[in-house]
């Protein structure tokens, strides 16, 4: 088993990432951290520039500097998110609790993911009027979903609805990334870009 493959599987496992974040004294949940990162990257954050970790610390660590182990963990996670968003096979997935967890717990994590995505996205995209109508519609939908207060029965219909919302969020994040994130980051050209 390759070390990189094992690292990937662990970092993209909700329970394992939750434990790692807790060990690093990072308080937001795995869903929130993944949502913020996805929003930042989909909105054009340059994850190979050191400033992005400063922004991330403002959002998830009360502005305190990350310990070296935390920095390494978050950088590896961001690179996995970036890789998945760029994957032509659309392998990107939202990081949520496994299906055996209660629907209420999964919906709670999903709402936190959406709220966090909006926070991360807003870091780089503050002028929504300049975005395409498709991306504006996605952001409007995310705002509405983030406000929802789910009271659901644990039945097949509720499960189907949950999976439909997850799939919509997944494809919408990819749409945002394809319009905005692809402009943002390439390790080869960051040393030429000065802002």
What CATH code is carried by the domain that includes residue 65? Answer: 1.20.120.740
Residue 137 lies inside a defined structural domain of this protein:
yes
Residue 191 lies inside a defined structural domain of this protein:
no
- Tokens encoding 23: 């060990």
Q: Given this model, what pLDDT does residue 9 score?
A: 80
Q: How do residues 131-187 score in pLDDT, each as one tens digit? A: 899 999 999 999 999 988 776 777 888 889 899 999 999 999 999 999 998 764 444
Other beta carbons within 10 angstroms of residue 116's beta carbon come to 25
Q: How many residues does the chain have?
A: 195
- Containing domain of residue 132, as a range? 3-186
pLDDT at 11 over 90: no
Residue 195 lies inside a defined structural domain of this protein:
no
- Tokens encoding 79: 């690179």
pLDDT at 3 over 50: no
- Tokens encoding 77: 């996670």
Residue 105 lies inside a defined structural domain of this protein:
yes
Q: Helices in the chain by DSSP H: which ranges?
A: 3-11, 14-23, 30-42, 51-60, 68-86, 103-124, 133-147, 156-176, 182-184
Q: Given this model, what pLDDT does residue 41 score?
A: 95
Residue 171 lies inside a defined structural domain of this protein:
yes
What is the spatial distance between Cα 76 and Cα 2, in angstroms, rounded to a whole number? 16
What is the spatial distance between Cα 17 and Cα 80, in angstroms, rounded to a whole number? 13
- Tokens encoding 61: 């660590």
What is the spatial distance between Cα 172 and Cα 118, in angstroms, rounded to a whole number? 12
State how many domains the chain has.
Answer: 1
- The values of phi and psi at residue 150, to 5°, are -80, 125
For range 51-70, the mean pLDDT: 92
pTM assigned to the model: 0.88
Residue 161 lies inside a defined structural domain of this protein:
yes
């Amino acid at each position: 088993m390759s070390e990189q493959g094992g690292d990937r599987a662990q970092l993209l496992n909700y329970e394992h990432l939750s434990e790692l974040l807790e060990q690093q004294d990072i308080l937001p949940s795995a869903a929130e951290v993944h949502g913020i990162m996805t929003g930042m990257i989909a909105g054009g954050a340059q994850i190979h520039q050191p400033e992005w970790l400063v922004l991330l610390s403002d959002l998830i660590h009360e502005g305190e500097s990350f310990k070296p182990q935390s920095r390494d963990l978050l950088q590896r996670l961001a690179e996995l998110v970036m890789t998945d968003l760029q994957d032509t096979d659309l392998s990107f997935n939202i990081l949520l609790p496994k299906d055996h967890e209660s629907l209420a717990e999964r919906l709670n994590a999903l709402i936190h993911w959406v709220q966090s995505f909006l926070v991360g996205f807003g870091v780089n995209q503050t002028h929504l009027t300049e975005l395409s109508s498709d991306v504006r519609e996605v952001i409007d939908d995310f705002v509405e979903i983030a406000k929802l207060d789910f009271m659901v029965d644990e039945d097949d219909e509720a499960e189907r609805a949950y999976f439909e919302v997850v799939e919509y969020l997944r494809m919408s994040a990819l749409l945002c990334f394809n319009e905005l994130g692809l402009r943002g980051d390439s390790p080869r050209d960051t040393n030429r870009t000065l802002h």
